[in-house]
Copies of this chain bind each other. A is one copy, B any other.
């Protein structure tokens, strides 16, 4: 399996980040990180609980997700039905965007070329300053119908 090295490295990066804040990297927390990094897109608490993080009780799961969001290890999104979805933060996996299926709600990660990314940055900066905002980041979501739902 090719992922083992990267997996180990992510755990190490997370451990370091947590230790800076004097937060323990316990086995339950490691389980959550592993579960999320195996996914191909943002996952809900329910998906994690009924799958690879099934051993972690819901309350602990939510506490961990929330802690990781606060710490900047995870990024929280709000999917099609208002249910929170979590994925590893950009600094752990690289900046990317999402395609969302309007029919079934599936979300997939999608990488962006450097040239497209700089166009996006330019547009985002221009829009943000138009409104007087100090721009920090941008989120592009492509809405469409996924291959499965599209007949």
Interface residues of A (CB under 8 A from B): 78-80, 82-84, 97, 99, 101-102, 108, 110, 112, 116, 119-120, 123-124, 126-128, 130-147, 150
CA distance A143 to B116 in the complex (A): 18
Q: Out of B99, B132, B139, which one reaches A141, CB within 8 Å?
A: B139
Q: Out of B110, B130, B140, which one reaches A140, CB within 8 Å?
A: B140
| Pair A127/B142 contact, Cβ less than 8 Å | yes
Smallest CB–CB gap between A109 and chain B, Å? 9
Identical subunits present: 2
Chain B residues with Cβ under 8 A from A150's Cβ? 133-134
16 pairs of residues in contact across A and B, judged by CB atoms under 8 Å: A78-B78, A78-B79, A82-B83, A99-B131, A110-B130, A120-B140, A123-B140, A127-B140, A127-B142, A128-B144, A133-B146, A134-B150, A136-B145, A137-B144, A138-B140, A138-B143
| Pair A123/B112 contact, Cβ less than 8 Å | yes
